[in-house]
Amino acid sequence: MPRRVAIVGSFSTGKTTLAEVAAPKLGLPLLPEVARQVIELGFKLDKDATVETETLIFLRQFYNEMQHADFVGDRSLIDVMAYASWVLENQERRKEFALWDTCLDIAKFHLRSQYTHVFYLPIEFGIVLDGLRPDDPDFQRDIDARMVNLLESNDVRYETLTGSVEERTQALIDAVG
């Protein structure tokens, strides 16, 4: 049986830390973080992103997930959709939005079956600045609310993980097996 583990949540909630600890313990590959790859190509993220950027991130994330029967991902299509929804709500609609509309069609078809385990990390810590994340708690909360809404409105089964890295890791390993 495949093990496709998605760790979701707003920025600075510990997704990468948890994924980096859990993946080797589960013997699963850790998917690369697409957003960092897109930045290296010269694209802007978060509040400065465009519909084209969000489409690129979605397609790269989808491709990475399709390449592996088993994985741990500290990002998922759920994350991509949460950020993209903010970006698109804050821009005037133009013909290029059709690119994103197609991504939504793909996501809705795959979202419930894409992952065997989804773990949601709520906001528990202060924002850790890393040169990528914005220092904006309101934006962090907005993205968090969008994540939960996506999970619930798409009937995605998920487990909330809280506590220390060790507590979260143990809960994840116990659930995935």
Question: Cβ atoms within 10 A of the Cβ of 87, count?
Answer: 18
**pLDDT tens for residues 132-169?**
778 899 999 999 999 999 999 989 999 999 999 999 99
State the pTM of this model. 0.91
Cα–Cα distance for residue pair 41/169, rounded to 1 Å: 32
Report domain extents, the chain. 4-176
Q: Which residues contact 49 (CB under 8 A, 6 or more apart)?
A: 43, 83, 84, 87
State yes or no: pLDDT of 73 exceeds 90: yes
Q: Which residues contact 38 (CB under 8 A, 6 or more apart)?
A: 45, 53, 56, 57, 60
Q: Which residues contact 31 (CB under 8 A, 6 or more apart)?
A: 64, 65, 68, 71, 72, 73, 74, 75
Per CATH, the number for 4-176 is: 3.40.50.300
